[in-house]
Amino acid sequence: MFLGLERRWGRRMGGPAMTRLPVPQPVPTAPGSVHLGELAIAAGMAGFPVTLCYQDFPAPELSQVWKHYIRSVGPNEVHHIHTQRNLDKLPDRLAEVRIVLVHAPRLHIPTAWSIQLMEPTGVEGGPCPALLSRFVPDDLDEEPGATIVLRGSVQESAAIGRWLATGADADHGRRLAPGPMSVEFPGWLSSVLSPDPRSNGRRRRRLRDLQVLRGLLAGACVLRSASDGDEAVAAGTASRDDYESVRRLLQSPILLPADATCDPLATDMVNRANVYLAARSGEVRQCGSPLLGHDYEIGHEDGRQQRELITRREVADLGNVRSRMVRRLVEYLQRGADGYQWYCRMGLARRPPRRDAWSTATPAYLATNLRPWSLKQVRTHFDRLRREGLITAEREQGNGPWRYELPEELADGPSPFRNMPPVGELVPDLPTFDNTAPG
C-alpha cells in the first residue's frame, strides 16, 4: 500500500516513482550476562583470569550462550571438565585453552586452583583461560582469584531470548580470539584499583574485588583493541570508555561478588510474602477489610507455628507479576491510605511511580514494576533458606501478626562496586567519552 502511494505521489509531482530502500536494522546489544562472559574470556588473554558462576539460568538459554562463546574462540580452544580425568588433562592444555567449562560441582574448586596457580607460558601475566561454571560452590571462600556470581532472573532470561532470536549470537565470528596482549592501567585509575580508596566513605575493596575490576577492565581493553583492526595488538591501555562500560556492568542487579552473603532475590521474596501476609491478616488496617477474608491466624503450640505461613505455590504466584494474586494484591493496596508504602516494600525491579500518580496507575502497570521470579528460584532461594532455618517466622509482639525474617547478613549486603565513581570524577578535565587511551 505504501509503495503504491509513493508511486502515485511521484507521478503527481511529475518526477520518477520513489523506491523504498531496505534500511539495515541495528544489531541488538548483548545482554549484560553475555557481555560479562566475553570480557572474562578476553581478560584471560591479557593474563587476568576471571571465573563466572551461573546461578538460576535456565539450561536452554545458558547452553546457547556458551555455544556463542565456543564459536567465538573455536572448539579446539575449549576444555570441558566432566570428570577428574578431564581435570588431570587440563595442565597440558593451558597454553592453548581459552575457556574451561565446568559441568561437575565437586570439580569447580580444584579446577579454579589449577588455573590460578599455573602459568602455561612460563612468564607472569601470560594468557590464562576463563573459567565458566554451571554451579555456585557451597563454600566460595575456598575459591581463589577473581570470581563473580551471575544471578539469573526472569528479565535476563527474556533478554537472552530476544538476543538469540535476532541471530546476533552468531554474528561475531572469531571476535573473542585476539592474540596474547598486555594491558596497562593509567594513573587516573589508581584510586579505584587501590585496596582503600579513602574517598567519600566508600566501602573498602578487598583483594578479590580488585582482581575482578582489573580483570574486566583488561577484558574491555582487549576487546576494544581487537575490534579496532584486523591485525593482532600486542599491548593496550585501559581507556575511559573501558572503565565506564565495566562500571555499568558491575552495578547490574544480576552480578554480585562471589563472597557476598546477601541474597537480594530471597530478600524480595520475603518482603513480598510479608506484604501478602499483612493483607491477609488485616494488618494493613487503613485499607479496609482484609484482602482474602477473615484474619489469617496460624495455629501454634509452644510459640511455634504448626504449618508454614505461606505455601510454595503462593510464593510462586507472588513472583508471577501477571498472576491474579498479584493483581488483586496491588488493587487492594491502592485502596488504602498507606498502600503506597506497602507497595514499595514488595521488591521493585525499577523505580516506583510518583506518589501523586500511584492511585491512578493501572494495577497491571504497577505489577510490571515488581521483580518477577520463577518456581525454580522459589526452590533454590526461599525454600532452601527456610529448610536451613535462615528464613524464620516471628511475631513483632505477643499476639501480633506473623511475618518472615532474614538474618541481617543475608538481607543487607551492599556491593563493593555500588559507589564506583563515574569516569568524569576520575578525569574531570577530559571528555567523558573518548576511544583514545589517555596519556
Q: Are 409 and 190 a contacting pair, CB within 8 Å? A: no
- Provide the pLDDT confidence category of residue 62 given band limits of 50, 70 and 90: very high
Q: What average pLDDT score do residues 142-156 get? A: 86
Give the integer Cα–Cα distance in Å for 72 and 35: 13
pLDDT of residue 130: 95
Higher pLDDT, 438 or 259: 259
Q: What average pLDDT score do residues 301-315 get? A: 66
Name 246's Cβ contacts closer than 8 Å, sequence gap at least 6: 39, 213, 216, 217, 220
What DSSP letter does each residue of 338-396 carry, written as one string? THHHHHTTS-BSSPPPPHHHHTTS-HHHHHHTBPP--HHHIIIIIIHHHHTTSSEEEES
Q: Has residue 131 got a pLDDT over 60?
A: yes
pLDDT of residue 410: 57
pLDDT of residue 376: 84
Give the integer Cα–Cα distance in Å for 85 and 339: 59
CA-closest candidate to residue 69, choices 102, 101, 95? 101
| pLDDT tens figures, 236-262 | 899 999 999 999 998 887 876 655 556
**3-state secondary structure (DSSP) of residue 184:** strand
**Residue 240: phi, psi to the nearest 5?**
-65, -35
Higher pLDDT, 330 or 336: 330
Alpha carbon 365 to chain centroid, angstroms: 24
CA distances from 295 to 270, 308, 329, 390 (A): 20, 16, 16, 26
DSSP alpha helix (H) spans, 303-350: 312-319, 324-334, 339-343
Q: Has residue 15 got a pLDDT over 50?
A: no
Q: What average pLDDT score do residues 348-357 get? A: 82
pLDDT of residue 409: 57
Most distant CA pair in the chain, distance = 93
Q: What average pLDDT score do residues 359-363 get? A: 88
- Provide the pLDDT confidence category of residue 84 given band limits of 50, 70 and 90: very high
- By residue count, the chain amounts to 439
- Provide the pLDDT confidence category of residue 122 given band limits of 50, 70 and 90: very low
Domain boundaries, given as residue ranges, for the chain: 32-260+416-426, 264-411
Work out the mean pLDDT of the chain and round it to a whole number: 77
Q: Are 132 and 162 a contacting pair, CB within 8 Å? A: no
Give the integer Cα–Cα distance in Å for 404 and 390: 10
Give the integer Cα–Cα distance in Å for 81 and 398: 54
Q: Are 33 and 113 a contacting pair, CB within 8 Å? A: no
**Residue 165: phi, psi to the nearest 5?**
-65, -25
Q: Has residue 316 got a pLDDT over 50?
A: yes
Question: Which neighbouring-strand residues pair with 15?
Answer: none
pLDDT of residue 10: 39
Q: Has residue 217 got a pLDDT over 70?
A: yes
pLDDT above 90 coverage of the chain, percent: 25
Name 390's Cβ contacts closer than 8 Å, sequence gap at least 6: 406, 407, 410
DSSP alpha helix (H) spans, 46-103: 59-73, 84-93
Name 406's Cβ contacts closer than 8 Å, sequence gap at least 6: 263, 266, 267, 270, 385, 390, 391
Residue 207 grid coordinates: 583483594
- Provide the pLDDT confidence category of residue 419 given band limits of 50, 70 and 90: confident
Q: Has residue 103 got a pLDDT over 50?
A: yes
Q: How many helices (H) and strands (E) does the chain have?
A: 18, 12
Is domain 32-260+416-426 given the CATH code 2.40.480 in the classification?
no
Residue 352 grid coordinates: 516506583
- Provide the pLDDT confidence category of residue 30 given band limits of 50, 70 and 90: confident
Higher pLDDT, 84 or 278: 84
Q: What average pLDDT score do residues 169-174 get? A: 55
- Provide the pLDDT confidence category of residue 420 given band limits of 50, 70 and 90: confident
Residue 125: CB atoms within 10 A of its CB come to 13
Ranked by mean pLDDT, the top range of 115-124, 177-186, 299-308 is 177-186
Q: Has residue 295 got a pLDDT over 50?
A: no
Give the integer Cα–Cα distance in Å for 250 and 252: 5
Q: Has residue 174 got a pLDDT over 60?
A: no
Q: Has residue 101 got a pLDDT over 90?
A: yes
CA-closest candidate to residue 54, choices 147, 142, 135? 135
Give the integer Cα–Cα distance in Å for 310 and 273: 8
pLDDT of residue 267: 84
pLDDT above 70 coverage of the chain, percent: 72
